[in-house]
Every structure is written in C-alpha cells, then in structure tokens.
Structure 1
Amino acid sequence: MAASATDPRALEDRVVGLSLAVTWPCYAIGGLYVLGPVLGVTLTGIYLLRAYLAPMLPGAQRPPGIPIGVWIWIAGMIVMLISLLVAHFANNLGTGQTIKSTIGWAKGWGLFAMFALAGACLRIKFETVIKGAAITGLISLLLTPALFMAPKVGLPEVLFVSPLKAVGGPGPEFFAVQLYSINPGDGTARWRYFTPWSPAAAYIGNLYLILALEDKRPVWRIIGVVSALAIIVLSASRLGLAAAMAVWPTAFGVSQLRRSVLWIFGSIPTFGMALFAQPILIKVNDTLDAVRGMRADSNRVREALGRIAVDRWRTEAPMWGHGVVENGPHYVEYMPIGSHHTWFGLLFIKGITGVFAFAIPLLWSLAEFTLLALSSPKGRAALAITLLMVLFTVGENLEMLIYLFWPGLVVMGMAMREAADRRTEEFSS
C-alpha cells in the first residue's frame, strides 16, 4: 500500500527523493562523499528503529521481514568486515589502522547492504527514485554546454577542494569541484560531471540511463536519456560506451523472453550468425584491438596493476588479503595496487574470502532479477543495474563509488522485496 503524503512512514521516501534532487547543489560544496554514507546510515537507522518499535505499532505500520536476497548481501558484507579484521590482525596493522579501515568499510562495502535493506524494507517508491534521478539529469543537461566550453575558454580544471575533505576519504578528488580533466595521453578533454573521475561519470551515467528508460513520463524520459548519453559520451569511457550499448538491451531482451514470437524471430538472426560466425568474430576482435589501442598507456598501467595484485595475493596473503591499500611502483605511476578493478582489489585487500563475499550476492541477484524481469519493470531495472555492476567490476573499484551509485542499490532492494513477496504468494496458493 502506498504511503500517503501525511503518512509518517513516507519520511524515507521524501529523504531519498530530496537526496537525489540535491545531487548538484551538494556536489557544488564538495559534499556528495559525505551525503552517501550519511543517507545509508540514516535509512538503516529508520529501519532499525521501526523494527524495535514494531510490537507497539499497528500491524500495517510494522516493517516487513528482510528478504533472503538482502540477507545474502548483509552476510556477504559482514564477511567482508571479518576478512578486514583478520587481515589487520595477521599483518599487525595496529588498532588505529583497524579502526580507520572499519570506518572505511562502513562508508564502502557496508553501504551495499544498507541501501539494499532500505529499498526492501522501507516505504521508498520506485517512482521517487526515477523522479529524483530525472531532476539530476535535467540539471546535468543544462550544465553540459557550460562544462563543454570550460576547457575551450581556459577555465581551470578544478575550481576548489571542499574543506569537507577533513572528514577523511580516498583522496581530494572526492571533495573537489571539477569542470573537466585533460587526458595526459593525447591532451583531449574529458568530463566528470559530479563524479571523481571520467570513467566513474560513465558508470553513473549508465545508471541514470537505466532509470530514465523506466520513466513513464515521455518528456522526462527523453530528457533523462539525452542527459545520460551526454554524460557517457563526454566521459570518453570505452567501458561506459560498451555498457550503454549492451546493458539495457540485454535486460530488456530478458524481460521479453516469455513472448513466443521473440523466440521465432530471434532464431533467424541466430541461424545467420552461425553461418558467418568466423568473419564476425574476426571483426569483433579487430574492433576490440582498436578500442584497446585508443589509450595504450592506460591499458598498460591497468594490466600491470592487475598482475601485481594477483601475484602478491597468491604469494603473500591468499586467504584474507593484505587488509589495506598499497601504492604500486614507479612503472604503474604509484597508483594503488588493485585499483581500477574490483576483483583484483578484493584479492589484494581481502583475499579469496572477499571475492566470494561479493561474488555470491552478485550471482544471487543476477539469478533472482533474471526471473523477476520476465514480469516486472522493477525486476528489469534491477537486472540492468546488476549487469552494469558486473560489467564495471573490471574497470572500477565499485566500493569507492557506492556513495554515487546508491540509487541502484535501493532499486535492487525493491526488486528483492517484490521477488520475495511473489514467492510467498506462490507458496501460499
């Protein structure tokens, strides 16, 4: 039952809508990195308070039970924390570093479970997330011409770094107000919008594209799609462009699999592809080589960081990892080992335990949302969001960007609730 405007249970709905709507104003003061964790903790606190007061509340106001999908995410993120604590103890990193890393877990991996819980067990509407994202999309679109002209008229890349960086974070770029960045390889401009770096903008742009395509308001849907595509294109991220072309079509195709006519017409191009498989594969391989050659230096650094992470994980800390981030040598430009890749980062910092702690919830969500997508818009959106996460694990450390990607986790939580409710209805009938 939808909460009315006067229903106090709609508080979280208003909080989520407002948090999305103020994305740009909050970014303008360098506060987005603070907003994400504060929002996650606030929503979790609302749920825990309601759960504690449940015996004193009317039946309709009691929070629902936690779906199994959310429990799996909670368990996975708790295992992440256990891995962190064991690694710190095994590597003698000290109490101060352990406390610091635990706070980092709460601002990163812990938010995966918090936002999924909020989406599943609080009165947050799917439409609220879509409308909030649409407002941010409109502002992004209106600012695009000014951002595009900034490097051409000689404006600085970074306007300022917010004093809020004093709260602590991965780096100053998370608190900086930036107009653009210059690619050191070829001197071309790339745009970051309200994210810390350009590939992150492509990641978030793809999330907003998914949400825009679910908007039932035609004008706002067009605005959202155009805005998201502008962010993706101007970010100049190869992975972002690939995601825009693959993620939503895949999720939409899955959602249509119950239609028998799709199987009939789909068999024709499938048969044709089988006949011409070899030339198609050659062409795809040539295209991938060309894309990889666009920024050879970037690929070299990423691949070297991956090799270092895997080698040191295997030889030094295979089970629990090293516990903390370490900078690489000179030939990888001193970048953190395991950065630019979620799985390599997990192997190095949290070992094989951390990999399974993330992989199992991710695989569960893929399976659950694939089934739900056959009959539900929420399931379709959640499947697309999960596919996007999977795709970007090979190009980004997702933990560092959850403070921006949280609307996707909220939608995934909503889909977990719907899937659990349907299973209950089927079992009851």
Structure 2
Amino acid sequence: MAKTSHYSILIEEKLIIYAILATWPAYIFGLLYLLGSVIAWVILLIVMLRLYIEGPRHYQQLSVLVLLWALGMLLLLICLLIAHAEWQLGAAKTIKSSFGWAKGWALFALFIGLGALLPLNLTNISRACCWLALMGGLYAFVSVFAFILKLPQSLYISPLQFMGGGGPEFFDVRLYGINPETSWPRWFFYAPWAPAGGLVASLLLIMCSRTEQRPLRLAGMASCVLMMILCQSRVAWILLVICGPLYVFMRLSAQRPIYLLLAVIAPVLLLFSVEAIELLQTTMDDIKNARPDSTRVRAELAQIAIQSWQNDAYWFGHGIVIAGPKSVEFMPIGSHHSWYGLLYVKGLVGLLAFACPLVMTALYLLWRAHEDADICCGFVLCFILCVYSFTENLEILAYIIWPALLWIGASLKIPSNHSIDKSCLEPILQNAKYS
C-alpha cells in the first residue's frame, strides 16, 4: 500500500510493535491472554485522547466495511443480552459474558477498525512478525530437545489465571504436548492448543512475506513453516500448500496472460475432472482417518449444537456455552467450529452478524487484491480465517490472531483516489485569494 512521504511513527504503532515482540515473553510469564485482550482497548483509549486533544489530522477516514464490522460485533453483544434475558441467566452471568464479549468478538471490530484508522507502516508490522516467528522457531528447537530428554510437558500454569477468565489451557506454559491418538509429540507454541498454533503460524507466514529484508524474511517464513509442521494441524498442512499459489495468482489476476493460461489449462483439467474429484475425496478421507477420534468428536459436537439451536434458541441462541456429554469428552458445545458455536450461543442473528462483515470483507479484498501486495496479503489472511472458522472458534483465539486483524483492517483503507488531494487545490485557492 502507498506509504506517505513524511512518515512518522505514532505511539499507537509503537505499542503494536512492542506488543507483537512481547508475545513470547508474555507467554512465558503467563500474561499473553491479558496482553492480547487489553492492548486493543489501550490503543483505543489513546486514539480517543488524541482525537480530543489534537483532532483527526493523524487518522484516516473509515470505510463502510469497517463500520459494518463495528455494527456486527455490537449486534453480537445485543444477542448475548437478549439470550441472557430469555434464559434468565442472572446479572452475574450477564456481566461475565459481557466481559467475555469485550475480550473476544469486540476485538475483531477494534483491531480491524484500528488497522483502518491508524497510518500504519505494514513493513514495520511484518518485520515484528518475523522476529516473533524466529522466536517460535527457537522455541521449537528447545522444546524438541526437551521431548528427547523427557522433560515435563508443562512448566507451570500461571497464577494469573484468575484475572483472565479463560480456561487453564490459556495460562499453561508448555514445552510440548502429546497426541493421545498416536502418542507422538505435537507442539502448541504460544496457542492454547495445537490446531490454534497452526492457525497462528499460517497467519504469520503471510505477514512475514512482506518484510523487505531478505534474510529476515526467509528466516521468519522458514520458522513459520516449521511451526506449521510441528503443530500437526491438518488444516495448516493444507494451507501450507494452498496459500503460496493463491497469493501468486491474486497478484497476477490483473494481467491478461493469466486468463489466457487458465483458458488453456481449464479444458485439460476437465478431461481429468473425475480422477481429480476421486483423488480429492480420497485425500479428505485420509486426512479425517489420520485422527478418527478427533473427527468423531467434531461431528458429534456439530450435531448437538445444531439440534439444540433449532429446538431451543433459534434467533438469539443460548447465551452461554456448556459442556457436552461424555461421548464428546465433555468438550464445550459449539467449540471446534465458529459457525456452530455462533448458532448455539448467539443464534441465527448472531451468525449473520459475523458472517456478513467477514464474507463482504473477503469479497472486497478479492476484488482489490491485484492492486497492491499488502492488500493481497490481507485477502489471504481473510481466506485463512474463513477456512479455520470451520475448525476453530475464532472468538476465543482473537487474543493471539490480532496482528492479522490489524493487517486486514489496514487493507480496508479507503483508496487514495477516492479522497481529494488538498495540495492540488492550493494554486486555485491562492488565485482566488488575490483575485
């Protein structure tokens, strides 16, 4: 995206960079959940103070999509309040759930809005993400030796757990984990569970690719690939193959030769379409069978969530999450899936409140992806979130995926050709002054 000629880093951007670099230290000391949940509100407070004292001269105009995100996340809060009132859950649970909204869904609107509002230099954000990924690569080597030496999986659970409101897994500092189905180690990194680590690594891989310093970029991306492999997330492995070609295609989509190439390739692909579909089906079956217990639990959780939503709380949901039966290992109903979770907790209205801004953002960035490499990265990041929304509850992971939300927000800035360049008006104003 176009950089301003006289660029000066605001304190807001410095806080963002420091927060990204502080991710691993915060994880080691059990502060990561608090850091990711609070940083957006702190920056928002600074923005409000700056607007009050200095006015809007440092900030940029918000687009309709950014306002749609704010409206959608506010609507989720309204759904929560209505559901709590309908189910008579009491004031204590309503207040607790409202704080949960402020640390979850609200962060989507806040970070996307801040990314669009602030004059961020995405090169600095990308560089910070590279250093974050490098620390993850170093942590991987240390934890591999920890597994070889049979050191404990978990170092400790932070005593600050009472301040965060999340489960113990959000404050558990671990060197590695063990896959109960295979008895092989798998790595969580600074995520609460391994598939979430794959989501973080996938997002970091895209953001690291925009660093201008080649050695740092290659080292950061290599660390991300290592993290994606070690987390043993099946979705991360698929994205590792897809995201690169997707990014290249979107960057070339404005050039006519790419469509000529597609016109040549399409008939060839049609000739082998049956074999391709069979191969895809076989591959999907192999992926599911790689962890059959996990696939079974996910399917049962989805079925319970759908039935409970249809029968009990169609429009505004149940308001809170409860644990499922023993057949799903007491996993929370609606977990492992953003859309089933939204239907169960927030109902159909809540699902639409999140789906509309997400889908419209993805389509808008798809339309503009060929214009700029940073916007193209924003589209790929949005694509990754869309894919993982079918396997993870994105709300509860907002505290670790927030750099990607910032980047998506920066990609939603109003194009410069949609605004008036006041410098062009200066000669006219001068002539009018002396006439």
Q: TM-score range by the shorter chain?
A: over 0.9
TM-score (norm 1): 0.94
Q: Which residue of 2 aligns with 1:36?
A: 36
Give the Å deviation of 1:110: 0.2
Number of the residue aligned with 2:380: 384
* 2:46 paired residue number: 46
Is 1:406 the counterpart of 2:402? The answer is yes
Q: Distance in 2 between matches of 1:370 and 1:404?
A: 24
1:203 aligns with 2:206: no
1:50, CA displacement in angstroms?
A: 2.6
On the 8 A contact 1:76/1:357 being kept in 2, the answer is yes
**Alpha-carbon distance between aligned partners in 2 of 1:391 and 1:383, rounded to the nearest angstrom:** 12
Matched, 1:282 2:293: no
- 1:269 maps to which residue? 265
Q: Any conservation in 2 of the 1:16–1:128 contact (CA below 8 Å)? A: no
Aligned runs of 1:217-256 on 2, under 5 Å? 217-256=213-252
Give the whole-Å Cα distance in 1 for the aligned partners of 2:164 and 2:118. 29
- The alpha carbon displacement at 1:215 in A equals 1.7
Structure 1 position 305 matched with structure 2 position 297: no
- The C-alpha deviation readout for 1:237-279, integer Å capped at 9, x for no partner, is 1011112222342233122111111112222222211011101
User: 8 Å contact 1:120–1:416 — kept in the other structure?
Assistant: yes
Match of 2:129 among 133, 137, 140: 133
Q: Compute the RMSD of aligned alpha carbons.
A: 1.9
Partner of 2:328: 332
Q: 1:380 Cα deviation (Å)?
A: 0.4
Confirm or deny: 8 A CA contact 1:193 1:201 kept in the other structure: yes
Q: Tell me the CA shift for residue 371 of structure 1.
A: 1.9
Distance 1:313 1:425 in 2: 49
CA contact (8 A) 2:60 2:119 kept: no
The Cα offsets for residues 374-402 of structure 1, whole Å up to 9 and x where unpaired, read as 11112101101100000001110000111
Q: 1:422 to 1:169 in 2, by over 3 A?
A: farther
Question: Does residue 82 in structure 1 map to residue 78 in structure 2?
Answer: yes
User: CA 1:374–1:3 in 2, change beyond 3 Å: closer, same or farther?
Assistant: closer
Residues in 1 aligned to 2:147 and 2:25: alpha-carbon distance in whole angstroms: 22
Corresponding residue of 1:163: 159
**CA shift for structure 1 position 4:** 6.9
CA distance in 2, matches of 1:355, 1:363: 12
Question: In structure 1, what is the equivalent of residue 351 of structure 2?
Answer: 355
Equivalent residue, structure 2, for 1:314: 310
CA distance in 2, matches of 1:3, 1:339: 46
CA distance in 2, matches of 1:41, 1:316: 35
Query: Deviations 1:179-210 (Å, cap 9, x if unpaired)?
Result: 11111112111001111110011000001100
Letter in 1 for 2:27: Y
Q: Which amino acid is the alignment partner of residue 14 of structure 1?
A: K
Counterpart position of 1:11: 11
Work out the CA distance in 2 between the residues paired with 1:91 and 1:423: 47
| 1:356 counterpart SS class | helix
The runs of at least 4 aligned residues of structure 1 exceeding 6 Å deviation read: none
Q: Shift of residue 299 of structure 1? A: 0.3
Q: CA deviation at 1:67?
A: 1.7
Larger deviation, residues 207-216 vs 251-260 = 251-260
SS at match of 2:156: strand
Aligned residue number for residue 294 of structure 1: 290
Aligned residue pair count? 421
Alpha-carbon distance in structure 2 between the residues aligned to 1:214 and 1:49:
32
2:232 maps to a residue whose letter is A
Structure 1: distance between partners of 2:113 and 2:227? 29
Q: Which has the larger radius of gyration?
A: 2
Task: Name 2:319's counterpart in structure 1.
Answer: 323
CA distance in 1, matches of 2:407, 2:27: 22
- Determine whether 1:190 maps to 2:186: yes
Q: Which amino acid aligns with 1:386?
A: C
SS at match of 1:177: strand
2:67, 2:222 → 1: CA distance? 36
5+ unaligned residues in a row in structure 1: which ranges?
none
The alpha-carbon distance between structure 1 residues 3 and 322, as it changes in their structure 2 partners (threshold 3 A), is farther
Query: Which letter does structure 2 place at the counterpart of 1:197?
Result: W
CA contact (8 A) 1:206 1:243 kept: yes
In the TM superposition, what is the alpha-carbon distance from 1:49 to its structure 2 partner?
Answer: 2.1
The residue matched to 1:52 in structure 2 has which SS?
helix
Aligned counterparts of 1:4 and 1:374: Cα–Cα separation in 2: 26
Cα displacement (A) at 1:420: 4.5
Contact kept, 8 Å, 2:123 with 2:210, in 1: the verdict is: no
The counterpart of 1:150, out of the listed 143, 146, 151, is 146
Please state whether the residue corresponding to 2:291 is helix, strand or coil: helix
CA distance in 2, matches of 1:320, 1:209: 37
Of 79, 96, 99, which aligns to 2:95? 99
Residue 94 of structure 2 aligns with an amino acid whose one-letter code is: T
What's 1:27 paired with? 27
Q: 1:213 deviation in Å?
A: 1.6
Sequence identity (%): 32
Partner SS, residue 34 of structure 1: helix
> Equivalent residue for 1:180?
176
8 Å contact 2:34–2:164 — kept in the other structure?
no
